[in-house]
Amino acid sequence: MIVPKIEFRHVNLRYFTPKGETLALRDINFKVEQGEFVSIVGQSGCGKSTLLSLLSGLIKPTEGEVLIDGKTVTGPSPQVGFMLQQDSLFEWRSIVDNALLGPEIRGDDMGAARRKAEALLTRYGLGDFLHSKPSELSGGMRQRAALARTMCLTPDILLLDEPFSALDFQTRLSIADEIGDIIRKENKTAVLVTHDIPEAIAMADRVIVLSRRPGRIKSIHDIAFPSHGNDRPGSFAARETTEFPSYFNTVWEELEVHVE
């Protein structure tokens, strides 16, 4: 039997505050296979970030279970890497020293880590910027540097929380294309949270639509682009396929229903 990489089993999550309690997620059930790219869409406040916090082990379900490789998540693990909206690069460190932050904190062999960081940055097109400061890089280059920093710890699951939303539209399109390509080539399992429907569809093998709070799974859509042939198109080319508009309309209508 193949164990799913990620599994949510009947997960409820309540936040308790002095003002009362909020049911943020209700009866969340889904599985993600190794190497799959899943997007989660839903309106602001529907529990998308909460879902990622559960996966990263930062919070525990009130009821139910979150499993990685068939084992209950009990806390943060180096197996899970994060990419956030803000790249959080340290301005006083060079790009390569930013990428080395994780190995340094973990106490890894720094010689090997440096070779790995340099190889990753070079592969991501930043070979000429190893010793530059983050302020010398464009927004898209900074996000690639942030990805290298995450990949330096060799996670096998990547959680992407609106990672492109601080970028301008053009950069956003091309960096999503590049980063999607890197994640697929490296056979990572990825969960992307976004409120951008085209981005969710263009990058993923499946799109999970969450209802408004308390977030429940409204639907799950398998995304395939047979018109493009056997190879999955990159996120840029996916937007040009004949299948794309119909996926967009379906997800759009599902989210619109909640506005009414």
Task: Identify which range of 15-23, 167-175, 231-239, 252-260 contacts ligand ADP by CB under 6 A.
Answer: 15-23
Q: 208 to 227, contacts with ligand ADP by CB under 6 A?
A: 213
Q: Which two structure tokens, joined as six digits, stand for 53?
A: 């916090």
Interface with ligand ADP: number of residues (CB under 6 A): 13
The only residue of 9, 12, 15, 35 in contact with ligand ADP, by rule CB under 6 A:
15
Query: Per CB under 6 A, does 24 bind ligand ADP?
Result: yes
- 168: phi > 0 → left, psi -120 to 50 → alpha, else beta; which? beta
Q: 34 to 63, contacts with ligand ADP by CB under 6 A?
A: 42, 44-50
The only residue of 17, 135, 170, 187 in contact with ligand ADP, by rule CB under 6 A:
17
CA distances to 39, 106, 190, 191, 231 from 161, rounded to whole Å, are 10, 23, 11, 8, 26
13 with 50: CB under 8 angstroms? yes
Torsion from C-alpha of 236, 238, 240, 245, nearest 10 degrees: -130
Query: Per CB under 6 A, does 163 bind ligand ADP?
Result: no
Task: Identify which range of 16-24, 27-35, 79-87, 110-118 contacts ligand ADP by CB under 6 A.
Answer: 16-24
Q: Which two structure tokens, joined as six digits, stand for 225?
A: 């682009």
Query: Per CB under 6 A, does 201 bind ligand ADP?
Result: no
Residue environment code for 174-208, b if the CB has 16+ CB neighbours within 10 A, otherwise e: ebbbbbbebbbeeebbbbbbbbbbbbbbbbbbbbb
The smaller minimum CB distance to ligand ADP, of residues 17 and 187, is found at 17
Which residues sit at the interface with ligand ADP, rule CB under 6 A? Answer: 15, 17, 22, 24, 42, 44-50, 213
